[in-house]
Structure 1
């Protein structure tokens, strides 16, 4: 959009925005489902759900039967399965490495704000050198509140010491757009991420929509 000002900093969601984690999350779900003799889920079923984390994946896998289980126990079991194969298939989305290089060459600060728990976020990021240069990483349990609440983004803004309106937040879920808007940042929708069409993403009030990460480079030149 022509009315967008040049960003002074970027903040990114993690799953479905910087890292393609869907297959590892889906295989963790299938390991858990196998323990309960429940049907396995295919990639095309769980990929659109992956950004919704444990809650979304368990809802997909267990369906109506989910109410028959202790949710917190299932969640812990799912996260344990996932932690055991955290980086088997996970990779950077195409274009992310080039985008991060461009941001750093432009001298712009950037960070990661995710709802993923810290005990999973930190070891996962260790596998991706391009992400080691983040100025700040805020996980889902860094604060009591998580997206769509804007508290995580306010914390990142305070650390970066840049005016809210000059920070762009990029994510692939409605909660990302809502959190960015509530924090008075520029919400950018990563349409290449994990989005289910039934969520009506065309109605989300993003200031910009990108189909490839490197599209952001045109705004920092």
Structure 2
């Protein structure tokens, strides 16, 4: 397969955002007098988003009392004001993105993070300056696992879906990529939820590190040029 574009999930794939997402969740959790979520819980829950983080630390009775959506808005308000204190690209990501830039291979991001959080976060990190397309949770009416965001990203990059590869650390990423007709890669270095087995997601490839992903992409793309 000839890859003409590379698409990535964001949280748990390109960026380790668990520190800042966790701080926001723990801010709300602490306000209720409850113990903070551990690093281990954050690492296996962050990819499931704000609702999952809050449910991991707040028991059902308190959620019902305060309202899950109200708690989520408190969390997102804190997170929006503290987007990039602890967030970092995974090791190997800057080199991979620079190689794509130098090689003239378009790349983009398809995330279930709302645009109001995604775009300011990316703006704080210069390595994303040449991102060709960013599709957030609310860019379209649908979000992953629906294939529409991936198909839209491919269209914006003027590349057919079958010539795109999509990399993500969640089952919904693989489901969306497969439904869009793209080659899929399970990012095993990311936030794999407890009880999840990437081998069962039916990804075309499973890769353990960004460095291994870089090597595989480089070999695959250069072999077909």
TM-score, normalised to structure 2, is 0.92
- CA distance in structure 1 between the aligned counterparts of 2:81 and 2:68, rounded to whole angstroms: 20
Equivalent residue in structure 2 for 1:106, among 96, 103, 106 = 103
Gaps of at least 5 residues in structure 2 are: none
String of CA shifts for 1:45-67, please: whole Å, max 9, x gaps.
Answer: 11111011112111211143334
**Alignment match, 1:46:** 42
User: Number of matched residues?
Assistant: 217
Cα distance, 1:197 vs. partner?
Answer: 4.3
Please tell me whether residue 14 in structure 1 is matched to residue 15 in structure 2.
no
Verify the 8 A CA contact 1:112 1:137 in the aligned structure 2: yes
- CA distance in structure 2 between the aligned counterparts of 1:189 and 1:9, rounded to whole angstroms: 17
Cα distance, 1:119 vs. partner?
Answer: 0.8
String of CA shifts for 1:29-54, please: whole Å, max 9, x gaps.
Answer: 11111111112111111111101111
When the two chains are superposed, the root-mean-square deviation of aligned CA atoms in Å is 1.3
Verify the 8 A CA contact 1:99 1:217 in the aligned structure 2: no
Q: How does 1:1-221 map onto structure 2 within 5 Å?
A: 5-65=1-61, 66-214=63-211, 215=213, 216-221=217-222
- CA distance in structure 2 between the aligned counterparts of 1:140 and 1:80, rounded to whole angstroms: 17
- CA distance in structure 2 between the aligned counterparts of 1:134 and 1:40, rounded to whole angstroms: 35
Please state whether the residue corresponding to 1:120 is helix, strand or coil. helix
- CA distance in structure 2 between the aligned counterparts of 1:184 and 1:63, rounded to whole angstroms: 40
Cα distance, 1:155 vs. partner?
Answer: 0.8
- CA distance in structure 1 between the aligned counterparts of 2:150 and 2:51, rounded to whole angstroms: 22
Verify the 8 A CA contact 2:29 2:54 in the aligned structure 1: no
Please state whether the residue corresponding to 1:199 is helix, strand or coil. coil
TM-score, normalised to structure 1, is 0.94
- CA distance in structure 1 between the aligned counterparts of 2:181 and 2:135, rounded to whole angstroms: 18
String of CA shifts for 1:164-210, please: whole Å, max 9, x gaps.
Answer: 11100110000000000111111111100000240222201111111
- CA distance in structure 2 between the aligned counterparts of 1:68 and 1:121, rounded to whole angstroms: 30
- CA distance in structure 1 between the aligned counterparts of 2:54 and 2:31, rounded to whole angstroms: 13
